[in-house]
């Protein structure tokens, strides 16, 4: 099926104009439009045509508020008229395989975990795009996986399913300034990966993150807490002496830069290692343990 070029280009330009929406108008999403979005999601590409994906539709304000709490306290989730929870779902296929006498081990295979997660994101991205086309804003929430155990209980999830991502949906109340992106020249290469000049690369990222900085609090206690957290992050990469110098420079400046915030504060290396372990434990509770990697081609039967 194809549409005329003018309409297609308009649609593509509209896609290019997307941005995450976190502030929603108090206006319901018509069921007809939601159905279109869900049809787009379930038609997404999927490795091996397996479709290990389930979408849970949440419209209840109280339960959405609870989802917001569970997704590392992001209250705007509770204000979205619809939330779509995307599960990596090996349950349905394992039931089917058992009934039809096929072997099944997708739920503990690293390879299937990765392709399954790719499938989930293809479906979620299709939903995001369809929503945007219909004038409905959305925001992906990756932290659903941080509360897999609680979410599994809340939705009575069967074994071999796990929440991977949430998509909040709602009509935009107001749109914030667009977040700057890395110039396309640094994201798209043709033929081969060029050797990038580090100064040019830094300039490109500096431009992307220009003006975004996190000031140190003035009150001594939170200020000290921020320094401690940054120190812990910096020490994963720098010597103690280098770490102290970086902290001194930042204190003198009065703020940490966006890349420092990203890796030493917000997406903190130590915390992220710990969270990863916790998520794997919760997956194991769901009878999913996607760590089996064989190198000698033999499987212990």
Ligand X SMILES: Cc1cc2nc3c(=O)[nH]c(=O)nc-3n(C[C@H](O)[C@H](O)[C@H](O)COP(=O)(O)O)c2cc1C
Q: Which residues bind ligand X (CB under 6 A)?
A: 19-20, 22, 74, 139-143, 165, 179
159: left (phi over 0), alpha (psi -120 to 50) or beta: beta
Closest residue to ligand X in the complex (CB) = 142
Are 134 and 36 in contact, with CB atoms under 8 Å apart?
yes
Contacts of residue 196, defined as CB under 8 A and 6 or more positions apart, other chains included, come to 186
Q: 183 or 249: whose CB is closer to ligand X? A: 183
Q: In the complex, what is the shortest distance from the CB of residue 144 to ligand X, in angstroms, rounded to a whole number?
A: 8
Are 250 and 260 in contact, with CB atoms under 8 Å apart?
yes
What DSSP assignment string belongs to 212-251?
-EEEPPSSHHHHHHHHHHHHHHHTTTS-HHHHHHHHHHHH
Residues 69-86 as b or e (16 or more Cβ within 10 Å = b)? ebbeebeebbbbbbbbbb
Q: In the complex, what is the shortest distance from the CB of residue 206 to ligand X, in angstroms, rounded to a whole number?
A: 17
Residue ranges in 76-197 assigned as alpha helix (H): 76-79, 91-99, 110-133, 148-154
Rounded to whole angstroms, how far apart are CA atoms 170 and 131? 9
Q: In the complex, what is the shortest distance from the CB of residue 178 to ligand X, in angstroms, rounded to a whole number?
A: 7
Q: In the complex, what is the shortest distance from the CB of residue 287 to ligand X, in angstroms, rounded to a whole number?
A: 24
Contacts of residue 126, defined as CB under 8 A and 6 or more positions apart, other chains included, come to 40, 41, 43, 44
Q: 118 or 242: whose CB is closer to ligand X? A: 118
Q: 214 or 235: whose CB is closer to ligand X? A: 214
Q: 51 or 72: whose CB is closer to ligand X? A: 72
Identify the three-state secondary structure at position 2: coil
248: left (phi over 0), alpha (psi -120 to 50) or beta: alpha
Q: In the complex, what is the shortest distance from the CB of residue 164 to ligand X, in angstroms, rounded to a whole number?
A: 9
Q: 70 or 247: whose CB is closer to ligand X? A: 70
Q: 93 or 165: whose CB is closer to ligand X? A: 165
Are 21 and 175 in contact, with CB atoms under 8 Å apart?
yes
Q: In the complex, what is the shortest distance from the CB of residue 240 to ligand X, in angstroms, rounded to a whole number?
A: 32
Q: In the complex, what is the shortest distance from the CB of residue 118 to ligand X, in angstroms, rounded to a whole number?
A: 12
Q: In the complex, what is the shortest distance from the CB of residue 74 to ligand X, in angstroms, rounded to a whole number?
A: 6
């Amino acid at each position: 099926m194809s549409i005329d070029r003018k309409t297609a280009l308009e649609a593509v330009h509209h896609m290019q104009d997307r941005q995450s929406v976190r502030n929603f108008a108090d206006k319901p999403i018509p069921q007809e439009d939601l159905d279109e979005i869900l049809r787009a999601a379930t038609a997404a590409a999927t490795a091996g045509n397996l479709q290990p994906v389930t979408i849970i539709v949440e419209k209840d304000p109280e339960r959405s508020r609870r989802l917001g709490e569970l997704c590392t306290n992001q209250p705007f989730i509770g204000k979205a008229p619809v939330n779509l929870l995307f599960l990596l779902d090996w349950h349905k296929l394992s039931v089917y395989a058992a009934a039809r006498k096929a072997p099944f081990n997708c739920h503990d295979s690293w390879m299937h975990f990765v392709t399954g997660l790719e499938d989930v994101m293809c479906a979620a991205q299709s939903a995001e795009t369809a929503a945007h086309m219909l004038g409905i804003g959305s925001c992906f929430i990756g932290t659903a996986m941080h509360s897999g155990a609680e979410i599994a209980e809340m939705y009575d999830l069967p074994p071999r399913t796990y929440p991977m991502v949430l998509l909040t949906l709602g009509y935009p109340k107001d749109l914030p300034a667009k977040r700057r992106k890395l110039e396309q020249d640094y994201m798209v290469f043709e033929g081969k990966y060029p050797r990038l000049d580090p100064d040019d690369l830094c300039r490109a990222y500096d431009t992307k993150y220009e003006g975004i900085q996190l000031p140190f609090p003035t009150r001594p206690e939170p200020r000290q807490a921020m320094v401690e957290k940054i120190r812990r992050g910096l020490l994963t990469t720098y010597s103690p002496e280098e770490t102290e110098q970086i902290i001194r420079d930042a204190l003198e400046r009065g703020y940490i830069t966006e890349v420092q915030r990203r890796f030493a504060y917000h997406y903190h290396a130590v915390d992220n290692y710990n969270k990863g372990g916790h998520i794997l434990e919760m997956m194991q509770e769901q009878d999913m343990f996607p760590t089996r990697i064989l190198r000698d081609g033999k499987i212990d039967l």
